[in-house]
Chain A
Amino acid sequence: MPRVLLIEDDAAVRDGVTLALRRRGHEVAAAASGEEGLTVLPGFRPDIVLLDLMLPGKDGFQVCRLIRAERQLPIIMLTARGDDLDVVLGLEAGADDYIVKPARGEVLEARIRAVLRRTALPADGAPAVEPGPAPVETYGELAIDRAGLVVGKGGQDLALAPSEMKLLLFLSATPGQVFSRQQLLEHVWEHSYHGDARLVDACVMRLRTKIEDTPRSPRYVQTVRGFGYRFGPL
């Protein structure tokens, strides 16, 4: 069962969310501040972090960046819808997804599941992709190993956050095909409602800084004005 680290300063919300997730079989560690969360993190080894943005001391953005600097584990921000700037900043700080507060337990569960499905192995141990000798695909300098979930560039393995990995795998599966941001939200983030397309933009931007030679004039993840994004053609 997925291990969840919840970083939330309000005691009631912390207890409520912890209760809701425990009922669904998650192991939950709760921290009341970013500093506490960062202390708990190495020992607890969570599969996913739920991170409130409004924290005393180190705020959610800083905590997000600090976690991202060392680990590529999925991070979901807890945010209030319409605090638009928070969403953008959180995504730029490296969060994979966001949940709008207040959220029902089932919504929390669904988002956590969706984000975990994007990453290598869910907690039940079944591989997310069919095992088999899948060849490593090469596009220009990029080497994508779909089975091993490794992306290399010029012989170096790249550290991609879960949503970045999933986005790259999805786009590169059909090179040259254009996907609208709404389509990407549905397929990669599994948002069934009209999510925030800036989630896609922020993720594309972060992905480009890691895989492109010149992020300003991208070669792999290209923008199609008025329609969305596509992988290649190289």
Chain B
Amino acid sequence: MNRLGRRVPSRTLLRGLRARLVVGFLVVAAVSALTTALLTYREARNAILQRSQDIAVNDLRAQVNSLAPELTVPPAQEDLDNFRVQLERSGKSREWDISVHYRGVPDSDEGGLRRGVVVPADLKSSVEKRHVPAFQRIDRAGAPWLLIGMPVRQSDGQASALSVYAQLPLSAEEANVEALVSAAQRGALPVLILAVIPALLAARGVLRPVRGLRQAAGRIAEGKLDTRLEVKGADELADLSRTFNDMAARLEESMAELRRLEANSRRFAADVSHELRTPLAAMTAVTDVLDEDADSLDPDTASAVRLISQETGKLARMVEDLMEVSRFDAGAAALHPDEVDVGETIRKTLQARAWQKRVVAELPEDVRARLDPRRLDVVVANLVGNALHHGGEPVRVVLHAPEPGADRLLIEVSDSGPGIDPEVLPHVFERFYKADSARARSEGSGLGLAIAMENVRLHGGTMRAANSPEGGAVFTVDLPLRHDEPNETADADGPDATSAAGTRTAKENDA
């Protein structure tokens, strides 16, 4: 899992870019090493064999040329034998086996120092019929041998009936070649290992920008739109980085613009409400003066005065709701949880608004939960108020004691009215959504349910609206039941106090 929680497919050995690059490099290195070795081997082997061949042929020719004139013509068997032995002895360093043929008849092979010479027919025919020296490489029992056939010329250059055959082992040369091969083999492995280094370097060169790009994209996805890549060089990766930076810059600009507009409209709503509050505070303070004296005025004026008083109250509530909403929007709504008896809290809500007689309450004792009592009051008051105004009495408030071990708290507010139109149901929690378009204005601010919803959300809970089978709407609040969080106690030395103190110092510095 990466930071954003997306599953990154696990890379098998050959899926990663680095692995692919390294393997590619190794293959290239291996192929080139092998090709070089093969070519070298072939050339070197040929060169070595060629040289020893030439030397052997030249040696033989020299020996034959120096010994042949002493041979009596036509030679007897014994002469041939002698001639062969002399030749064999003259082989100095070369251990060749000689066989001398006269008119196609070989020497008797007696007194021979070494093995007999087996002359292949085609070699023999080219020497004796065409009178040209010939040689041939053959394999015998896995060892390489060189066969040389040489017609002996008379002193006048005429071909004679005498031909000499020599065979000599090429094992020394073969050993040289073997040494070459093993040297090539021994060299190839280090070469391959060394090839990993440039492979890794090259991979790093490619991968570092790619990794940087990935991290930068991740940061952008997290919302850090000021992320930029360093552009180095002028290759494709640099182009990519530049394009990425352009994209990020555009994104940042448009987001900043959006945020600015949003913040402006939010601030505007908050400012308007705030500005409205001051005159409302003045008006609200004197409404009961109006109410008290209305009776002593003439009926028209009295009606006007009562209307002003009543509507001032509504306006004040509406502005209060607007401010509450703008606080939620600005993320400035703070939760001040306390350990409370939920049933008792709900009962107080009903009492405070004199609803006990109009609402049937089922509130079990001793359901304790950690929540913000003021906000729960707002939720319950809004739901019950909504049920009384738009549903029908009797309204029921039911607190479901959580099952042992369960950590959810359910509060149901149901009315006995006609229920909510299924088309309207998805929108009931929207701001200023008027369920009944025929009704010009609602009793409340049109924000009550939206505020209730926000308050429930702030507690990490959910709220649902539905129609019960028996008719009537049912609103269900589902709150997490958090007992005794160790860092939230009724102790004033808690985080609240410190943050407030910290802010106070800041404020004093500003003053």
What residues make up the interface of A, taking CB atoms closer than 8 Å to B?
Answer: 10, 12-13, 15-17, 19-20, 23, 59, 61-62, 80-82, 84-85, 88-89, 92, 101-106, 108, 180-182, 192-198, 201-202, 204-205, 216, 223-229
Residue contact A197 to B373, C-beta cutoff 8 Å: yes
Main secondary structure of the interface of B (DSSP, over half): helix
**Chain B interfacial residues counted at CB < 8 A:** 53
B340 adjacent to chain A (CB < 8 Å): yes
What residues make up the interface of B, taking CB atoms closer than 8 Å to A?
Answer: 274, 277-289, 292, 313, 316, 320, 323-324, 327, 333-334, 336, 338-341, 345, 348-349, 352, 370, 373-374, 376-377, 483-484, 489-494, 496-497, 500-501, 503-504, 507, 511
A126 to B501, alpha carbons, bound, how many Å?
Answer: 39
- Assuming the contacts A92-B500, A181-B338, asked whether A226 and B289 have C-beta atoms less than 8 A apart, the reply is no
A13 to B274, alpha carbons, bound, how many Å?
Answer: 14
Residue contact A103 to B504, C-beta cutoff 8 Å: no
A80 to B284, alpha carbons, bound, how many Å?
Answer: 14
Residue contact B285 to A20, C-beta cutoff 8 Å: yes
- Identify B282's interface contact among A10, A82, A202, CB under 8 A: A10
Q: Which residues on the B side are within 8 Å of A227 (C-beta)?
A: 339, 490
Distance of B509 from chain A, by nearest CB (Å): 13
Q: Which residues on the A side are within 8 Å of B483 (C-beta)?
A: 226
- Assuming the contacts A102-B280, A197-B338, A204-B492, asked whether A19 and B289 have C-beta atoms less than 8 A apart, the reply is yes
Residue contact A103 to B285, C-beta cutoff 8 Å: yes
Residue contact B286 to A193, C-beta cutoff 8 Å: no
In this complex, what residue of B is CB-closest to A84? B334
A105 to B284, alpha carbons, bound, how many Å?
Answer: 7
Q: Which residues on the B side are within 8 Å of A80 (C-beta)?
A: 274, 277, 323
Residue contact B277 to A23, C-beta cutoff 8 Å: no
The 8 closest A-B pairs by CB, nearest first: A12-B282, A201-B492, A16-B285, A102-B284, A16-B282, A102-B281, A205-B492, A88-B500
Residue contact B504 to A201, C-beta cutoff 8 Å: no
How many inter-chain contacts with C-beta < 8 Å in the A-B complex?
142
Residue contact B283 to A20, C-beta cutoff 8 Å: no
Distance of A3 from chain B, by nearest CB (Å): 18
Q: List 24 A-B contacts (CB under 8 A).
A: A12-B278, A12-B279, A12-B282, A15-B282, A16-B281, A16-B282, A16-B285, A80-B277, A80-B323, A82-B327, A105-B289, A180-B340, A182-B340, A182-B373, A193-B352, A194-B345, A196-B374, A198-B496, A201-B491, A201-B494, A225-B490, A226-B370, A227-B339, A228-B490
A92 to B496, alpha carbons, bound, how many Å?
Answer: 12
Distance of B375 from chain A, by nearest CB (Å): 9
Residue contact A201 to B497, C-beta cutoff 8 Å: yes
In this complex, what residue of A is CB-closest to B333? A82
Q: Which of A89, A101, A196 has the most CB of B within 10 A?
A: A101
In this complex, what residue of A is CB-closest to B345? A194
Q: Which residues on the B side are within 8 Å of A17 (C-beta)?
A: 282, 285
Distance of B447 from chain A, by nearest CB (Å): 14
A61 to B503, alpha carbons, bound, how many Å?
Answer: 13
In this complex, what residue of B is CB-closest to A201? B492
Distance of B365 from chain A, by nearest CB (Å): 15
In this complex, what residue of B is CB-closest to A80? B277
Distance of B384 from chain A, by nearest CB (Å): 15
Distance of A224 from chain B, by nearest CB (Å): 7
A182 to B377, alpha carbons, bound, how many Å?
Answer: 13
- Assuming the contacts A10-B278, A197-B336, A226-B484, asked whether A105 and B500 have C-beta atoms less than 8 A apart, the reply is no
- Identify A180's interface contact among B285, B339, B352, CB under 8 A: B339
Residue contact B490 to A59, C-beta cutoff 8 Å: no
Q: Which residues on the B side are within 8 Å of A61 (C-beta)?
A: 504, 507
Q: Which of A10, A17, A105 has the most CB of B within 10 A?
A: A105
In this complex, what residue of B is CB-closest to A105? B288
A84 to B323, alpha carbons, bound, how many Å?
Answer: 13
A80 to B281, alpha carbons, bound, how many Å?
Answer: 10
Distance of A228 from chain B, by nearest CB (Å): 5
Q: Which residues on the B side are within 8 Å of A84 (C-beta)?
A: 334, 336
A147 to B511, alpha carbons, bound, how many Å?
Answer: 42
Q: Which residues on the A side are within 8 Å of B493 (C-beta)?
A: 205, 216
Residue contact B288 to A106, C-beta cutoff 8 Å: yes
In this complex, what residue of B is CB-closest to A101? B281
- Identify A16's interface contact among B286, B345, B370, CB under 8 A: B286
Residue contact B497 to A194, C-beta cutoff 8 Å: no
- Assuming the contacts A59-B511, A101-B277, asked whether A181 and B323 have C-beta atoms less than 8 A apart, the reply is no
- Identify B489's interface contact among A102, A204, A226, CB under 8 A: A226
